[in-house]
A and B are shown apart, each in its own frame.
Chain A
């Protein structure tokens, strides 16, 4: 066991931290709330190889591990990135695994095209609430027959939402751009969902940790009854619980990402665990940070509400934690029976 990032991983985190500090300030995040997308940030991410790195060397990528991507996702979450980095990475990897056309993969890698992935199977010809679908060019959808790559241009309706995410409902009546059948394709799609869960867990961890920092800063300076509010146990102890949960979520999400190569037999379970646990930890951090700010926390002008809304929304776009836990429990029992 070695919980320190490698030298290369530290460099990666440093490079992306610099990028996000410049291109994803809270002013920029606020400015992008109407669309949930900051084209300047996306351009910078694409230029820095944010999507390309996720692809294997054989596809012209730099072959980053899922753990490398998780460390970048933590930075993304910390800065509330208004760009579909996780969706683009996960769907680029999926398209490549499916054997998608090389020129499309190359366009996606370079950020010229944005792909995304529908997290739930469509019902009555519509995929609802698809992440990044308002800004992506195409979406990968799994229905009962195959994985389909579907163009988004005329098929989407925006979804106004808690987290200012570029979500859309997507009609699936047009002919797909490509289809991929067979058991292999379904398995690849399942892997993509695991990767999305693991990376989203990391993004939630980054977001939650920053929300907690805001709370600690505020609780250290704000005075009430002649003392800093952070000296009251009712405040301090809940922040201690949030910090403990976030440390747990950090370890768990990094372990889940590591497991995709380091312990493949457990990777899928760990991704689900990390997603559900990080969702709860981030939600609690968001709610508590907001509450610690008192009335100011309820004002739009204070940044904490930006974290609060995304903490819930970034996870809820896929599932509530309870349902994910139930899936885990059912799988464990099936293995035991």
Chain B
């Protein structure tokens, strides 16, 4: 048994940090935070140029052939620095699906430019009436010769305003049982039948509601079989499982530690405060656990096993941890803790106040905490289904 990541890991981490020092400027971070779009084309293309769009893919497919733990090491550093990665994440999820299920033409028309940083793909799963129950999607797609006509609405289509395609889950046969009548498409977003309206969120992250009114998608951009959408989704969700965890709360704790040693002019004096020490020690411990849980998934991946329940544990634990920590840190800061980053006197640069808002979303998107617990209970512990 070995917990060390090897000498190559340290060199890789140094490399990522150098890259971030050059490309993830304070101005860029401030722009992203203000605008709420967690995608930046310049930064995205710099990552592509470095080969870090798909570092785990084989070289002949445009990757670097890195093992899962190295891929995770890069992701950990990016997350910890607060880099805008949502566009890359959704695009790579779809690219992975296409790598396994796409036609040769789709790989050429979509995967190649995606890996080259030329196009972006958003996820269109959630709808006004369904989110957790993703298979309940009602958006309709009806065949019309070589094309399909799409009508309906998708909620929370993050980065649709930057993206070229939405990976859309649509109902193609309402007479079939819920999971059987679905088909997935890559719907071009820059067309007349698509309207994209911004949704502003608690953390300032921008997402979108997308309306489809007789929007058109060629059959060549259908992924998988007609009415085989659920199988495609199952493949897609498998690639969402090894993501970095704990980076946001590591950054949050660093901001708090800076505050505590920095003479806190209006806040409580933190130097000898046992409550502060306890909260910091607990947070550091929880962050170590988050990192270990996600590294376990990557390690399983590296020995050819599919992390399923393990990924749910990492997601559940890390998102619940930052939710607890951010609330507790506001309490430690006292009345000063609710000052936002716009306030020049905000303790810890307003990071804690922001994190408290941000954290709530982490327990919702990517499968809510309840959905993760159900996966762990049923598939991990073998408890009976309700």
Does the CB pair A1–B5 fall under 8 Å?
yes
CA–CA, A244 and B375, complex, Å: 12
Q: Is B4 positioned at the interface, with any CB of A under 8 Å from its CB?
A: yes
Mask for B273-300, Cβ within 8 A of A = 1, else 0?
A: 0101111111011101100110110010
Q: Is A262 an interface residue (CB 8 A)?
A: yes
Taken together as a complex, chains A and B put the C-alpha atoms of A27 and B196 apart, in Å, by 67
B132 CB to closest chain A CB, in angstroms? Answer: 13
Contact A332:B257 (CB < 8 A) given known A3-B299, A236-B374, A325-B282:
yes
Give CA–CA (A219, B383) in the complex, Å. Answer: 7
- Return chain B residues, CB-CB under 8 Å to A67: 1
**Do A239 and B381 have beta carbons less than 8 Å apart?**
yes
Residue in B261, B373, B381 whose beta carbon sits within 8 Å of that of A336 in the complex:
B261
A residues less than 8 Å from B281 (CB atoms): 272-273, 276, 324-330, 332
- The size of the chain A interface, using a CB distance under 8 A, is 57
* Residues from chain A with Cβ under 8 Å of B377 in the complex: 230, 236-237, 239-240, 243
User: Does B376 lie within 8 Å of A244, measured CB to CB?
Assistant: yes
Main secondary structure of the interface of B (DSSP, over half): helix
Residue in A closest to B278 when the chains form the complex, CB atoms: A326
Contact with A along B367-383 (1 / 0, CB 8 A): 00010111011101111
* Chain A 311-337 interface 0/1 with B at a Cβ cutoff of 8 Å (1 = within): 000000000011111111110110011
A248 in the interface, Cβ–Cβ < 8 Å?
Answer: yes
Judge whether A277 is part of the interface by a CB distance below 8 angstroms: yes
Chain A residues near B270 (CB-CB < 8 A): 333
Residue A192 CB within 8 A of the other chain: no
Q: B280 and A328: CB pair below 8 A?
A: yes
Stretch among A4-12, A183-191, A282-290 lining the B interface? A4-12
Contacts of A1 in B (CB 8 A): 2-5, 69, 295, 299
The answer to whether B380 and A333 have CB atoms under 8 Å apart is: no
**Does A169 count as interface, using CB distance less than 8 angstroms?**
no
State whether the Cβ of A307 lies closer than 8 Å to any Cβ in chain B: no
B277 touches A258 (CB 8 A): no
Q: Does A25 contact B (CB under 8 A)?
A: no
Q: Residues 59-82 of chain B: 1 if any A CB is under 8 Å from the residue's CB, otherwise 0?
A: 000000000010000000000000
Asked if residues A329 and B381 are in contact (CB atoms below 8 Å), the reply is no
Contacts of B3 on A, CB cut-off 8 Å?
A: 1, 254-255, 258-259, 262-263
Contact B380 A243 (CB under 8 A): yes
Q: Are B386 and A329 in touch, CB under 8 angstroms?
A: no
Q: Is the CB of B1 within 8 A of A240?
A: no
Contact surface of A with B, Cβ cutoff 8 Å = 1-6, 9, 67, 212, 216, 219-220, 227-228, 230-233, 235-237, 239-241, 243-245, 247-249, 251-252, 254-255, 258-259, 262-263, 270, 272-273, 276-277, 321-330, 332-333, 336-337
B residues contacting A by CB (< 8 A) are 1-5, 69, 257-258, 260-261, 270-271, 274, 276-282, 284-286, 288-289, 292-293, 295-296, 299, 303, 310, 313, 316-317, 370, 372-374, 376-378, 380-386
Closest 6 CB pairs of A and B: A328-B281, A325-B281, A329-B280, A329-B277, A329-B281, A236-B377
